[in-house]
């Protein structure tokens, strides 16, 4: 872990970058779970470990803010970024957990598409965070726009998935479970967009 200085953004940004990398790795594991041949729930423990690591990193940021004084970033921005990145990790873990307690042992094309949206969104979050650490505010805009666009794709995927459920109903219990998973995955892409919204507010303030 990076020690916190009394007055420095560097340490906060390092922690935020570390947790963005952690979120990307978690999204990649989730994609592997959706693309693989094993029941998705078998990946739950590995994803849970990354989610727990994210909790630890977020706690370090909260703890450090009690003693340090950031230079250019507002304390509220740091707290919001830390919280929203943690929400992404929580959302991915909550999504994989549903395969376990809902007893879904298969994936479909909608789940696979959601997983790709999550990976790409987390890739752009990480890139934007690295640009923030370099104070390259203008360059951050491209990645913020892409994250917002990916969330729109997720909205479309959810609508198409739910439309398919009601257009071709099968077992009502299975249909309910699939709808639950689609909606939770869409909420997780919303969490990615929430990170982008905070980054956009920082860009507007400093660019």
Nearest in space to 107 (alpha carbons), one of 94, 117, 123, 96: 96
Query: What local confidence, expressed as pLDDT, does residue 10 receive?
Result: 56
The tokens for 184 are 């939770």
Cα distances (angstroms) measured from residue 29 to each of 112, 119, 130: 12, 9, 22
End-to-end CA distance of the chain: 30
Whether the CB-CB separation of 18 and 57 falls below 8 Å is answered with yes
Q: How far apart are CA 175 and CA 180, in angstroms?
A: 9
Prediction pTM value: 0.93
CATH value of 10-206 in 1.20.58.220, 3.90.226.10, 1.10.357.10, 3.90.580.10: 1.20.58.220
pLDDT in tens, the chain (207 residues): 555 454 455 588 999 999 999 999 999 999 999 999 999 999 999 999 999 999 999 998 888 877 666 677 888 999 999 999 999 999 999 999 999 999 999 999 999 999 999 999 999 999 999 999 999 999 999 999 999 999 999 999 999 999 999 999 889 999 999 999 999 999 999 999 999 999 999 999 887
Q: How far apart are CA 151 and CA 197, in angstroms?
A: 12
């Amino acid at each position: 872990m990076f020690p916190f200085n009394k007055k420095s953004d560097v340490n906060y940004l390092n922690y935020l970058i570390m947790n963005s990398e952690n979120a990307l790795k978690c999204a990649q594991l989730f994609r592997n779970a959706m693309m693989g041949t094993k029941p998705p729930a078998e990946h739950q423990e590995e994803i849970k470990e990354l989610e727990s690591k994210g909790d630890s990193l977020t706690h370090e940021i909260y703890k450090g803010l009690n003693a340090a004084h950031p230079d250019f970033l507002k304390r509220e921005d740091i707290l919001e970024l830390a919280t929203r990145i943690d929400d992404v990790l929580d959302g991915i873990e909550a999504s994989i957990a549903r395969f376990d307690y809902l007893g879904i042992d298969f994936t479909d094309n909608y789940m696979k598409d959601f997983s790709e949206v999550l990976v790409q969104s987390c890739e752009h979050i990480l890139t934007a965070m690295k640009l923030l650490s370099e104070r390259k505010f203008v360059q951050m805009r491209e990645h913020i726009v892409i994250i917002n666009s990916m969330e729109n794709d997720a909205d479309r995927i959810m609508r198409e998935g739910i439309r398919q459920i009601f257009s071709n109903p099968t077992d009502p219990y299975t249909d309910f479970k699939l709808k639950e998973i689609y909606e939770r995955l869409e909420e997780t892409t919303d969490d990615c967009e929430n990170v982008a919204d905070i980054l956009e507010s920082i860009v507007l303030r400093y660019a």
